[in-house]
Amino acid sequence: MQADMVDYSKYFINRVILPLISFIITLGFGMIQIVMIYLILSFEGLLTTLPEELKTIPEAHLVAVEYSLLMSAFMLTRAFLARYFGNLSDLIGRKKLIIIGLFLYTLISYGYILSTTWIHLLIMRALQGIASAMVWPVAEALIVDSAPWRERGRWVSIYMMATNASFAIGPALGVYVYKFGVMYFNLGVPDAFKFPFYALFILSLFSFVLSFLLRETIRPVVKSERARRRDLRVALEESLPPEISRAIFVIYIMGFANGIAMGFVAPLFMIYVNEYVTSDPIILGWLSTISAIAGILVSYPAGYLSDIAGRKNLIVFGQLSTRAMTLLLPFVRTVPALLGVYVIRSISFNIMSPAYRALQGDLVPRELRGKVFGTVQTLFNFGAAAAPFGGWIYSMTSKLEFNILGINLPGVAIVFIISAFIGFFTTALFILFVPEPEKRAK
């Protein structure tokens, strides 16, 4: 690790603006999280009435592949470009890439409003992946650049708390915006499901304006100097101790494997809940809100603790707990049980996430952080692009049943079990091969 010789006070504005931008953008996309599945179902002719008028939607599994493809399109475009933009930010600076990416977000938000088929949604999601690759790996590198080492975990926690706060508010707020459109504008299917997208457009535009207040942490180099900067970065990589190089490689493996695990669960969770628990958007919105609030409450204490007591144990605990809750999801049949599992899963994830991102920044010098953050997100997104395969498994096993410990489970539980065990495997790799930077420094 490098000694901190930087005047971090001049970058304080970044520590304020970046969490705010993250909050605003994630709030907007959180608002469309619940209604997206209903919009696809309505486009496919499987939902012709408002979902709250139904108890469940037994046909929801029929769009499992299409819904998974939306995630895959997003993840693939992000995967191909996240590492490139992360690398580019090390050479030309971070601020301009964030500004361009947020402008693209604004255009995409309006494109969602114009969509009339699920193919249009697929195109918008692919474009959203490009914007995401341009903004978030670079933003994570910028927030780490802007905080001294001894405060890095807590500032990353604040950044994560802002994101999680919008996850807490967004889904429920989106559902109420949808209900507002139904009640006061008499919107029906599918126009009612599009109403939250107008809020997404306004929020994206506001975040684009805010991004001009950021301060650059990387001195941009002209083309004639880029070769020298690249040579410096190669020299820095080659000078890393073997255990650090190995740790970074393992983190890359984790990124890919965790992407597969997430891709199997994230898009199918909504389908599972609609089929086996409830199809009421209000309940789903509050489920996301309550679990996200629980995550927010532990995020900053966890980040602060990682600064003073080390990061590795928190990461291991969070990983194992998150995967255990994923394993329990297919056993859930009631709203209270679903809430309990989801809250514990959110708490576990938010204990792990700030420490995990701060550790990535700890392992390498400033000049390599854009590349490392970009590569991790690229591999994660490539893994998550396997989501349609998870959707295919879900569809193929939707009519099956099997018994575990005397409990009858639907065949779709296989998807959640695979995801959980992938997570357990990557946690074992992390325990064995990733060192604790603070202990090494001491």
Q: What is the pLDDT of residues 217-274, one digit of tens each?
A: 888 766 666 666 667 767 777 788 889 999 999 999 999 998 898 888 877 887 888 8
Report the pLDDT averaged over residues 189-215.
94
Percent of the chain that is helix, strand, coil (3-state, to 5): 80, 0, 15
Which residues, other chains included, contact 110 with Cβ-Cβ below 8 Å and sequence gap of 6+?
Answer: 201
- Least Cα distance to 81 among 358, 369, 379 occurs for 379
Q: What are phi and psi of 404, to 5 degrees?
A: -125, 120
**Predicted local distance difference test score (pLDDT) of residue 224:** 63
Residue 380 per-residue DSSP state: H
Query: In b/e form, how buried is each residue of 151-163, taking b as 16+ CB within 10 angstroms?
Result: bbbbbbbbbbbbb
Q: Is 277 helix (H, G, I), strand (E, B) or coil?
A: coil
pLDDT at 422 over 90: yes
Tens digits of per-residue pLDDT, 272-310?
Answer: 888 888 888 888 778 878 888 888 888 888 888 988 888
Whether the CB-CB separation of 4 and 148 falls below 8 Å is answered with yes
In this prediction, residue 1 carries a pLDDT of 41
Residue 204 banded pLDDT, cuts 50, 70, 90: very high
Mean per-residue pLDDT, 158-166: 84
Domains, the chain? 12-217+226-441 (1.20.1250.20)
> What per-residue confidence (pLDDT) applies to 363?
87
CA 309 to mean position of chain CA atoms: 26
Q: Comparing 351 with 402, which gets the higher pLDDT?
A: 351
At 376 the pLDDT is 87
pLDDT of residue 372: 84
Give tens-digit pLDDT for 38-90: 899 999 888 888 888 887 787 878 888 888 888 788 888 988 888 889 888 88
Supply the pLDDT for residue 167: 76
Are the C-beta atoms of 417 and 234 separated by less than 8 Å? no
Compute the distance between CA of residue 20 and CA of residue 348 in angstroms, rounded to an integer. 23
Residue 34 phi, psi dihedral angles, 5° rounding = -75, -40
What tens digit of pLDDT does each residue of 108-132 get? 999 999 999 999 999 999 999 999 9
Report the alpha-carbon distance of residue 284 to residue 262 in Å, rounded.
19
Burial class (CB in 10 A: 0-12, 13-18, 19+), 224: exposed
Q: How far apart are CA 19 and CA 161, in angstroms?
A: 8
Q: How confident is the model at residue 135 (pLDDT cuts 50, 70, 90)?
A: very high
Q: Between 438 and 376, whose confidence is greater?
A: 376
- 320-324, 333-337, 361-365: which has the highest mean pLDDT? 320-324
232-242 burial code (b ≥16 CB/10 A, e <16): ebeeebeebee
| 182-201: average pLDDT | 91
Residue 5 has a pLDDT of 64
Q: Is the pLDDT of residue 440 over 50?
A: no
Mean pLDDT of the chain: 86
What is the structure's pLDDT at 441? 42
- pLDDT for 14-38, tens place per residue? 999 999 999 999 999 989 988 898 8
